[in-house]
Amino acid sequence: MSGGDLTIWGISALSHDASIAVVRGSELLFAAHSERYSRVKNDRWLDQGLISEARLYGSPDAIAWYERPYLKKLRHLRAGQWGDAVSRADLPQRYLASLGLPVTDVRFVGHHESHAAAGMATSGFADAAVIVADAIGEFDTLTVWDATSGSGLRRRFRLGYPHSLGLLYSAFTRRCGFRPNEDEYITMGMAAFGTPRYADRIRDELVEVGEPGFRLRANVHRGIGDWLPQAEPVDLAASIQSVTEQILLNLVHWARRQTISRNLVLAGGVALNCVANSAIAESGCFDRVWIFPNPGDAGSSMGAASVLSGVPVNWRGPYLGSDIHRPLDPADVAARIGRSGVVAVANGRAEFGPRALGNRSILADPRSAEMKDRVNRIKGREKFRPFAPVIQEERAAEFFEMPVGATPFMQFTARCRQPERFPAVVHVDGTSRVQTVTREQHPLLHQALREWEDATGCPMLLNTSLNSRGEPLVNSWDHALAFAQREDLQVL
């Protein structure tokens, strides 16, 4: 069989955020997170429910694994992770065989190549500069690639362990009192409340900033302890955010000088930093910026599969997971929000990625500050955490200073032009993490927004993920009913 005839399973597992993507030729048939099935946040193991659902789209002729396991074990040795280095239990073929999956044709793709391929394969670009930044792959932590549809990916720059921007940001996440490798988005949100008064100290004591890369002055893999013990967490968060943006902007300027392409693809877990993404877009170095909506390790399952497939993916959007097939009337959604202020929606195929984009969402009236507190109570979140607005793409520029033309996956922040009108979705710095939607992308949500504006004059809704604190997004209707009972909130 040719590559186009094969059913390829891309798999990411054994570290964190396990996932499966099913690709046949150019068609991305299914992609989902294991945590949605097991209900274990950031689950590293492949859940049998996920495997069973993936089989509905075709058993694998070949498996593409998202990294090179023996190279990773060499890095474990260098990092002093002796137990991980000598363990044989986490070797992919042994693990897959224990799950009853075929292991006769397992191909290994480099960790950063999987990230880069996921971004490029879904971008629609004929050529691009691709920047991958994360905590760590096998050894790579920061890479830059030239990408063309004809010759594939060619690496132009690499930075290796222990010099890692992702590990540095995670170390500050722990220092601020949050969970590393999980709560970095909280650190990013907290940064708006502080002042980057310690940015120079970070550069003097922890990281030497250069171009195109940087070097850490100390290995921060196990954190930074109680660095600057008297410092306020909000100021530490603002400081590491400032340094992160500087490093990324230096890299973007360098990448622009190295390529003739006017397109940029951002990938890796650091690409979830929507504040930095906006700074990159606003720098004007590139005309177009694409970020796959699942740029972290879970999305690498799709990237590895696309490498093995060898053809661009026919990208139709992130709604690729488990299907909740129930009738839903957009006018009814708008009317119920009008009556109660907030409802939940669990309908259609689940989003592949960390953000709820209308199929596993809580939707609410954004016009009162009390609504922000109400939804934070429902979700059990910290009161300072911001929420996102969802708005029809054709209306977005009227209300937000958009860094890019459209933001369908909540990957950029934009300054709100009338923050006093929509306090529930405007952060303390006057910005919002906007989701734009078109009729083609999500006809039901687009129509619900139109119905809502016709009834109230308000052009947007608050949109946040349908889950309680510490749990994954709702995946099935049973999960939705359990959420409704637990949180006393109607789910449509």
Banded pLDDT at 384 (limits 50, 70, 90): confident
Alpha-carbon span 93 to 107, nearest angstrom: 10
Q: Which residue has the higher pLDDT, 103 or 405?
A: 405
What is the per-residue pLDDT for 1? Answer: 40
Banded pLDDT at 333 (limits 50, 70, 90): very high
What is the per-residue pLDDT for 4? Answer: 61
pLDDT at 309 over 80: yes
User: What is the CATH T-level fold of the domain 320-487, as seen in this structure?
Assistant: DHBP synthase (3.90.870)
Give 260's DSSP letter.
Answer: S
The distance in angstroms from the start CA to the end CA of the chain is: 44
pLDDT tens digits along 451-479: 999 999 999 999 999 999 899 999 999 99
Mean pLDDT, residues 308-315 = 91
Task: Give the residue carrying structure tokens 């596993």.
Answer: 360
Mean pLDDT, residues 52-60 = 97
Using alpha carbons, list the distances in angstroms from residue 294 to 31, 115, 302, 401, 486. Answer: 10, 10, 9, 24, 29
The first and second tokens of residue 407, run together, are: 């933001």
Alpha-carbon span 30 to 22, nearest angstrom: 5
What is the per-residue pLDDT for 150? Answer: 66
Q: Which residues pair with 491 in a beta bridge?
A: 344
**Confidence (pTM):** 0.96
> H or E stretch including 350?
strand 348-351
Mean pLDDT, residues 55-75 = 96
Specify the CATH architecture of the domain 119-295: 2-Layer Sandwich (3.30)
pLDDT tens digits along 84-128: 776 776 789 999 999 999 888 999 999 999 999 999 999 999 999
Banded pLDDT at 166 (limits 50, 70, 90): very high
What is the per-residue pLDDT for 86? Answer: 67
Alpha helices in 196-319 (DSSP H): 199-205, 233-258, 274-282, 300-309
pLDDT tens digits along 222-278: 999 999 999 999 999 999 999 999 999 999 999 999 999 999 999 999 999 999 999
Residue count (the chain) = 492
User: What is the CATH T-level fold of the domain 7-65+68-108, as seen in this structure?
Assistant: Nucleotidyltransferase; domain 5 (3.30.420)
What is the per-residue pLDDT for 80? Answer: 84
Q: For residues 471 and 41, is the Cβ–Cβ distance under 8 A?
A: yes
Domains of the chain, residue spans: 7-65+68-108, 119-295, 320-487
What is the per-residue pLDDT for 386? Answer: 87
Give 280's DSSP letter.
Answer: H
Identical fold at 7-65+68-108 and 320-487? no
When the pLDDT of each residue in the chain is averaged and rounded to a whole number, the result is: 95
The first and second tokens of residue 80, run together, are: 């002093």
pLDDT at 50 over 50: yes
Burial 219-231 (b: 16+ CB within 10 A, else e): ebbeebeebeeeb
- Work out the burial of residue 217: count CB atoms within 10 Å of its CB; fewer than 13 is exposed, 13-18 middle, 19 or more buried: middle
Alpha-carbon span 113 to 73, nearest angstrom: 18
Using alpha carbons, list the distances in angstroms from residue 461 to 31, 166, 435. Answer: 27, 32, 10
Longest dimension (CA), the chain: 64
Report the percent of the chain where pLDDT is more than 70.
Answer: 98
Amino acid at 146: D
- Give the residue from 148, 129, 111, 169 showing the smallest Cα distance to 251: 129
Q: For residues 136 and 164, is the Cβ–Cβ distance under 8 A?
A: yes
